[in-house]
Structure 1
Amino acid sequence: MTNAISRGRGLIATMIVIVVCSGVVQGYLTPLLPVVGDHVGIGGVGQNTLYLLSQVAFTVLTPLLSRWGDIWGHRRLLLIAVTMVTVGSLLIAARPTAGTLAVGMVLQAAVVGFFPLLAGILRSRAPEHGRIGLSVLVGTLLLSIGTGGFVAGTLSDEHALAGLWTAVPFCALAVAAAIALPTSATPGAGRFNLPAALLLTSGLGALMLVLTEGQSWGWASVRSLLTIAAALVLLLAWIRVEQRSSHPLVDLGLLRNPRLAAVSAHTFCIAFGAIGFLGANAVYLGTEPDGTGLRPGLGLGARDISLVSLAMVAVGFLGSTATPRLARIIGDRAVLAAGGCVGAAGFLGLCLFHSSVLQYVAGALVVGLSTGMFEAATRSLSVEAVDEAETALSVGINEMALSLGAAIGAAVIGALWSSHTTGRGGVTSAGYQWAWGTCAVVALAGAAIGLLFRTRSHIPTLETGDACTERTA
């Protein structure tokens, strides 16, 4: 049993159990928050505060769990992260209050460590299955996010709080899977840099705070400007501490690697629209049009919205699993450029055709395809860009680029909406089109960055298991 799990398909199958848990946890609470908020007495402001807490926790835990995994062992940190998520999910389900929701969602944010830590184990134990394995895991994650939201929403139709138990059985299975996984063959190295960790977490926390609250505060308000200044000072101080440290929390030299820099910049650009627009997607689908054209929308119910989201992630799954084969045919550089172009085409389609459900869903599905392509390609390439001992940290940097791109994208969309509203606060057609158009432009920028990616003259070790030099073309 242990030997079967240590390599090949058994290893990937065990990892799939953990990724399914990650997807369900990330997807099940979103459709429940309005109902749960009413039950526990949390209004719109309180729900937004919960979202802010989870986003800050996501951003902070990404580099910490990745670095701890490279130092103390990927399996050990994975088991800790899965346990944190399990405790958070059980706390929310068993006793839903404002306090337990806040603590539980912060604990659930440990899912950000799953992918970097799994990538470290996969590269160490089964490098020959690296690209295909990661693409399958990405596709599974996308499907699980959509399915988790749909299942939770369906359960809550019967009882308002029943959907809160959606994640608990998946977490229990994930704990068992994490115990069964082998340890990485690569020994850990280095020491944990506490001053750097405090500066980075504080700086990223301040940045996420202003991105989430800037629209309500006013981007030019004193509060926003002071928070931006604090974030910049803290992050600059972090960079200075890292450069002087013999044991950096994040090796900034990794960002001088042109391959990793290009992949991370591409991730940021595509996540800006593909992930950043998901909230806007639900708003447009659920808004009842006013009949005059001033406030457009499709007026769908919660279950129909979840079905559209499920269709998007299903297409994303197809894009993810097809990406390794496509890369072998046209090359990594072309795949990155194609992913950006596909995303831009989807957003342009939404700009031009969005008056009916079929028209809108067609454009949204194209965006979903781009999401699967970029997530599979960038996660594989971020693994291959560095030495094995830095795998989790490299993937963590890519995850940070994804989180920041999505957060900034959502903030920009919110700002565009706030400047194009009706008298009753609804978003006008121009507001939606400006948002979709901006996402298309940034996606094209991602495609251009993809063309700057320097391919190796030999297929990396994740596919062949052979040694590979750093010669570039």
Structure 2
Amino acid sequence: MTSAVSRGRGLIATMVVIVVCSGVVQGYLTPLLPVVGGHVGVGGVGQNNLYLLSQIAFTVLTPLLSRWGDMWGHRRLLLVAVAMVAVGSLLIAARPTTTTLAIGMVLQSAVVGFFPLLAGILRSRSPEHGRIGMSVLVGALLLAIGTGGFVAGTLSDEHALAGLWTAVPFCTLAVVAALALPTSTAPRAGRFNSLAALLLTLGLGALMLVLVQGGAWGWTSASSLLTIAAAAVLLIAWIRVEQRSSHPLVDLRMLRDPRLAAVSAHTFCVAFGAIGFLGANAVYLGTEPDGDGAGLGLGARAISLVSLAMVALGFLGSALTPRLARAVGDRTVLSTGGCAGAAGFLSLCLFHSSLPQYLVGALAVGFATGVFEAATRTLSVEVVHEAETALSVGVNEMALSLGAAIGAAVIGALWAGNTTAQGSVTGVGHQWAWAVCAVVALAGAAAGLLFRPPSGSPTPETEITHVTRTA
């Protein structure tokens, strides 16, 4: 292993290749879902449910991959995650059906392990590049999300399903890059808690099921109430198992640290709208306008250009985050990200009948996404000891995935109660979804204000010394 790849810029450049794969995988299906959905017979609500399924998988895989990485090595688990993503991408491209889309998107959800595992390697191999490295990786991720969507949309304009092959070459490069990375020097310890994993998976599955089907079943029906009760029992049992275990899957005691708790709460709230909204964004843009003004009727390529513009603003937000943190402090940066997201969704509520109007709100949401992803991923690394790096980042990624999953589920539930006879979502349904996202984003801004840096902690200007200890 060359020193160029083991440390510094060479290490970060190799990680960028893997993160670019993650971004392409997360972005290329978004503009294609309306077209591919029509090809395989999946409507707007079904498309949102496919996106929701992937978010459930994100939530479940986050603690699993993070914990396994801390136990068996970050690089080894990174290779497993990259392989899962590659297989899922190939499956979707080679044989697109409703079933293969569902299975492939679940496998692709292993991208959620990339950041925790890469953070473990970065912290142990090149700690002096902690904040800058994380900002670069988040920026690369966001640009790749938009670029992947644009490439897929362009290919789809030539042939409806050609864009499905977009991720395959990037997955191949990511496998090569993962093989070139050094192993983490962090100590490995612990055992896998299979009972906790089972309870968490079943509890989250039940929770998502009632959020998706509650509107159709009736929120006060026996089916909804029993499923809610089952989710509560399973998740409470999971918490009790975790608290009593000497080797927890997710060490909930970490959340007793008010700094990590504030960061995780902020992540959940902003991701609820900013990430949970992505599937809804494509559906609105691709829906033909109806009598009450819902939908803009754009094609796959135009949808991908809107997504690219959003992530370009996200890249700007990510790039500015370290400088903003030095100028105004981490707490203000967190609050700013939440407020920017709320302002964007409020703008969508009021102005959405034309593409220029819609872009104002969508771009504000994109900027907020870049700020919160860079800030929270950096802070989740810095507030814990090195041995807990992947797990801490995993907790933050879990909050992100859970927030996005619940956000997508709530949007789907609001849509289910506001559809036309033809199955299209009404303008009122979209406005309710944007309004709820705005309120939750404001809650995220409030959570950001609760973050308190440790007394006597180094300022961002002296982050090299700080990161050597904790990043």
Deviation at 1:460, TM superposition (A): 7.5
Q: 2:234 maps to which residue?
A: 234
- Compared with structure 1, are the counterparts of its residues 242 and 368 closer, same or farther at alpha carbon in structure 2 (3 Å cutoff)? same
**Does structure 1 retain, via aligned residues, the 8 Å contact 2:63–2:391?**
yes
Render the CA deviation track for 1:308-329: whole Å, top value 9, x for unaligned.
Answer: 1110011000100110111011
Render the CA deviation track for 1:278-330: whole Å, top value 9, x for unaligned.
Answer: 23323333333345xx3433332322121111100110001001101110111
**Does structure 1 retain, via aligned residues, the 8 Å contact 2:56–2:405?**
no
> Which protein, 1 or 2, shows the higher relative CO under an 8 Å CA cutoff with sep ≥ 6?
2
Render the CA deviation track for 1:10-65: whole Å, top value 9, x for unaligned.
Answer: 11110010011111111222333454455556677875664454333222111100
Q: 1:118 maps to which residue?
A: 118
The reply to whether residue 54 of structure 1 matches residue 39 of structure 2 is no
Q: Quick one: distance in 1 between partners of 2:383 and 2:209?
A: 31
Q: 2:458 maps to which residue?
A: 459
Q: Quick one: distance in 2 between partners of 1:285 and 1:310?
A: 14
Q: 2:366 maps to which residue?
A: 368
Between the two proteins, the alignment pairs up a number of residues equal to 468
Render the CA deviation track for 1:358-404: whole Å, top value 9, x for unaligned.
Answer: 12211211111111000100011111111111111111111111112
Amino acid at match of 1:225: L
Q: Quick one: distance in 2 between partners of 1:108 and 1:174?
A: 13
Q: Quick one: distance in 1 between partners of 2:60 and 2:247?
A: 19
- Compared with structure 1, are the counterparts of its residues 444 and 54 closer, same or farther at alpha carbon in structure 2 (3 Å cutoff)? closer
Deviation at 1:194, TM superposition (A): 1.3
The reply to whether residue 354 of structure 1 matches residue 352 of structure 2 is yes
- Compared with structure 1, are the counterparts of its residues 460 and 149 closer, same or farther at alpha carbon in structure 2 (3 Å cutoff)? same
Q: 1:325 maps to which residue?
A: 323
Q: 1:93 maps to which residue?
A: 93
Deviation at 1:421, TM superposition (A): 5.2
Q: 2:162 maps to which residue?
A: 162
**Does structure 2 retain, via aligned residues, the 8 Å contact 1:212–1:407?**
no
Matches within 5 A, 1:62-461: 62-290=62-290, 294-420=292-418, 426-456=424-454, 457-459=456-458
Q: Give the 3-state SS of the residue equivalent to 1:299 in structure 2.
A: coil
Unaligned runs of 5+ in 2: none
**Does structure 1 retain, via aligned residues, the 8 Å contact 2:284–2:296?**
yes
Amino acid at match of 2:442: L
Render the CA deviation track for 1:205-241: whole Å, top value 9, x for unaligned.
Answer: 2222223333333333322222221111111111111
Q: Quick one: distance in 2 between partners of 1:178 and 1:426?
A: 43
Deviation at 1:138, TM superposition (A): 1.1
**Does structure 1 retain, via aligned residues, the 8 Å contact 2:92–2:100?**
yes
**Does structure 2 retain, via aligned residues, the 8 Å contact 1:56–1:209?**
no
Q: CA RMSD in A?
A: 2.5
- Compared with structure 1, are the counterparts of its residues 389 and 83 closer, same or farther at alpha carbon in structure 2 (3 Å cutoff)? same
- Compared with structure 1, are the counterparts of its residues 460 and 384 closer, same or farther at alpha carbon in structure 2 (3 Å cutoff)? farther
Deviation at 1:464, TM superposition (A): 1.4
Q: Quick one: distance in 2 between partners of 1:418 and 1:38?
A: 19
- Compared with structure 1, are the counterparts of its residues 469 and 129 closer, same or farther at alpha carbon in structure 2 (3 Å cutoff)? closer
Q: Quick one: distance in 2 between partners of 1:299 and 1:117?
A: 40
- Compared with structure 1, are the counterparts of its residues 283 and 382 closer, same or farther at alpha carbon in structure 2 (3 Å cutoff)? same
Render the CA deviation track for 1:380-437: whole Å, top value 9, x for unaligned.
Answer: 1111111111111111111111112122223333344455556665555444433323
**Does structure 2 retain, via aligned residues, the 8 Å contact 1:60–1:205?**
no
Amino acid at match of 1:459: P
Deviation at 1:267, TM superposition (A): 0.7
Unaligned runs of 5+ in 1: none
Q: Quick one: distance in 2 between partners of 1:304 and 1:411?
A: 26
- Compared with structure 1, are the counterparts of its residues 221 and 52 closer, same or farther at alpha carbon in structure 2 (3 Å cutoff)? farther
Amino acid at match of 1:56: I
Q: Quick one: distance in 2 between partners of 1:223 and 1:453?
A: 40
Give the TM-score normalised by the residue count of structure 2. Answer: 0.92
Deviation at 1:352, TM superposition (A): 3.0
Deviates more, 1:311-320 or 1:225-234: 225-234
**Does structure 1 retain, via aligned residues, the 8 Å contact 2:128–2:467?**
no
Deviates more, 1:366-375 or 1:137-146: 137-146
Amino acid at match of 2:345: F
Deviation at 1:197, TM superposition (A): 1.3
Amino acid at match of 2:81: A
Amino acid at match of 1:433: Q
Q: Quick one: distance in 2 between partners of 1:59 and 1:259?
A: 21
Render the CA deviation track for 1:228-255: whole Å, top value 9, x for unaligned.
Answer: 2111111111111111111111111001
Q: Give the 3-state SS of the residue equivalent to 1:342 in structure 2.
A: helix
- Compared with structure 1, are the counterparts of its residues 35 and 368 closer, same or farther at alpha carbon in structure 2 (3 Å cutoff)? closer
